[in-house]
Structures are given as C-alpha cells and as structure tokens.
Amino acid sequence: MRVVILTGGILAAAGMETELVGTPAELVSALDRAPADIVGVQALRFRMLGNEKYAPYRAEWAYETGPELVRALDAHAGAGCGIVSLHTGCICFDGWQG
C-alpha cells in the first residue's frame, strides 16, 4: 500500500513525525516508547468470526484484542490524545470488552 501525506504550509515549523507499524504489538511498543498526538488506524485486524469468507485469512490475520493494546490505547485517549480510524479501522479490535 502506498500512502501520500501532504504537509507544510504556515504550520510547517510545528513539524510532524510519522511512524508506521504493522501489528498491534508494534503499536503498543511505539506508544510505550514515546507518546503520540494521534494514533491512526488503517488496518483490518479483528477476530474474523461469523462469516466463512474470512476463513482463508484467519490463521494469519485474525486478532483477539489483548490487554496490552487496551491499556496503551486507554492511556493514549486518557491523556487527551486522538485516535483516527480510517475505512476498515472501525471494525478492528472487535473483541474489546469496554
């Protein structure tokens, strides 16, 4: 996937650092390493239950939300920071009980 981000303009001096992670565990690690102003979720990581069309993908991509991710995102949001969910991001972490 290719992502193009336009930055700059009168707020260019404020700066922006972008870090891409590929797994929920890497997201937890990134948030534990340093705070972020915004977490963006452009992923499809969920339990993949209820529809056999996901059967070929379950072994590799199904994800059960773990307590580490809940802790990291709760702390992030609790600190007043943002979470942006793009497209399929809205169905990620469907096992979250909270």
Tens of pLDDT, residue by residue over 21-46, are 999 999 999 999 999 999 999 999 99
pLDDT of residue 9: 83
Phi, psi of 50 (to 5 degrees): 90, -5
Determine contact, residues 73/97, Cβ cutoff 8 Å: no
Q: Where are the domains of the chain?
A: 17-91
**Against a cut of 0.85, is the pTM above it?**
no
Q: Is 98 helix (H, G, I), strand (E, B) or coil?
A: coil
